[in-house]
Amino acid sequence: MEPHSTQRRARACKDCHQDPKVLGLGFGKITLREGRLLFEPLEAPFGETKIRLSQIVDPQGNTLVKFNRPNMRGFNRGELERVLKVGLCLNCHPPEHKIFLEWKGDFLCPQYPFLRSLFFSR
Ligand code: HEC
Ligand code: HEC
């Protein structure tokens, strides 16, 4: 058993680039609908609050919790969108594909030009 969260093997690309829990959005599902990335939470809010216990940011990139260190925060909206856009491409392109090495934010897929208009909404 390895009791620590550190280990020799790095996490796979998809573990970060496609996982809303890892990105701080909490348990849920991310889908692409009409050029928009949609996050659907799969956990009920806690008590009377709007906060889900597995969540630290909302899809607009607002940090919802207090951290115990100065300047610590969740990912902002731009960061979430950039990470998730890479996640989308990883569905078809293998991690070692040159697009990830030569990555530019406004990269388009010639096969799927609509992937240009990524937009995150709830
Ligand atoms: C531990 C989590 C994690 C893992 C594992 C990871 N990434 Fe990332 N990746 C990030 C974060 C965080 C960013 C920065 C997002 C930002 O601030 O723009 C990023 C950025 C990127 C970017 C640049 C995106 C942009 O628009 O600037 C590319 C391309 C990328 N990752 C590809 C990969 C590939 C390919 C792998 C696997 C070989 C991988 N990543 C593994 C977390 C991860
Ligand atoms: C639904 C599957 C799918 C998704 C998702 C996808 N692609 Fe593609 N992409 C393809 C296919 C199929 C090709 C043509 C075969 C190839 O070159 O691998 C291609 C080709 C490309 C090429 C040309 C590669 C070359 O060697 O000239 C680029 C660049 C590219 N994709 C970028 C992207 C980016 C960036 C994303 C994410 C925003 C993305 N793709 C998402 C299927 C996909």
pLDDT tens digit sequence for 27-69: 999 998 887 889 999 999 989 988 899 999 999 999 999 999 9
Question: How far is 57 from 22, CA to CA, in rounded Å?
Answer: 11
Ligand with minimal distance to 94 CA: 1
Residue 122: pLDDT over 70: no
pTM of the model: 0.92
Rounded mean pLDDT, 109-119:
79
Question: What residue owns the CA closest to ligand 1's atom 34?
Answer: 13
Distance CA 55, CA 98 (A): 33
Q: Which ligand 2 atom is the nearest neighbour of the CA of 85? A: 38
Task: Calculate mean pLDDT across residues 77-88.
Answer: 92
Q: How far is the C-alpha of 41 from the C-alpha of 51, rounded, in Å?
A: 11
- Could you tell me the residue ranges of all domains in the chain? 13-121
Atom 29 (ligand 1) nearest CA: 100
